[in-house]
Structure 1
Amino acid sequence: PEIGKLTELNRTGWEELVAKFISTPATVAQRTLEHFVPGGDKDPRLYKDATGAIMIVGPDLPIGRKVTGTQRAQVEVFRGALRPFTTTVNQELSDVLKSKIRMFTIFPGSVTGSEPNNQKIAEAFNFLVTENALTSAEVVFCVDETR
């Protein structure tokens, strides 16, 4: 969304952004886990050896030739919050619950301001449902950035 400086947002505006980019993905992931492991919230032992993949997509980097560093930085605040969230969820699922469920985060867009490539997002989805992805240490993918 078009916003001014993050530091000048009122509390309501900030909470709306947090809800959109942090709380909503977390809630969707939690509900997905309930589908993968019915009753797991009451009996965590049910997670052992359960399999599945959860994928969070976004937020995208801003698009356009005149994207400012401030606009990119605003998006990176929320991307930066999702990175440790994704890592922590995976550590809990694998190390604590002995589950084979993995959560992945896909960040579309490029620092050049180019349009995200939907084909690369689809390719990431295809990879993330493979056996290789379930054993990979990589859980955050910036699909439009060249490696």
Structure 2
Amino acid sequence: MTQGKIEIPMTDIELLFGEAVLSIAQVGQAILTDVQSLQKTQMELLLKYTKMINDSLTAAIENSSKVPDISETLKQDPEMIKFSSDYDKSTTQLSHCNQFLETLKTEFSQFQKGSSGERVAASMHLLPKLTFLKTKVSKDDFNKPLDFKALNSNP
């Protein structure tokens, strides 16, 4: 202890960085699981619309008529709308999660390069951020970019 301040061992901060990275990686894995489940929905929609197109082509050929445009049907299909929304959300979350992992790696690198005094000073603001990342981060935190500099234990 120096001048009434609590010193946090640097190895504890380094461990917290590692645990925060692991936590973010687990969130990324959960997002990937969501994306994989969307692939099943995508295949079901593909089969549904392939059948619809084939039926339309067959009917047009049999009746010597024009093939109908199914683009409006696609735009209004609740399954397609939900799939598109879920897919966009998951890919956005995954992108933000990956960007944040890169930020976290950069912060760790800067922390390691700092002098002893800089590391002690940095540990005071890093502790609540890393604790939050270790214990409370979720997929929903990545609906928008997560700002490490503004992050605190009570976002």
Q: Which has the larger radius of gyration?
A: 2
Q: Determine if the TM-score, normalized by the shorter chain, exceeds 0.5.
A: no
Q: Which one has the bigger strand percentage? A: 1
TM norm structure 1: 0.28
TM norm structure 2: 0.27
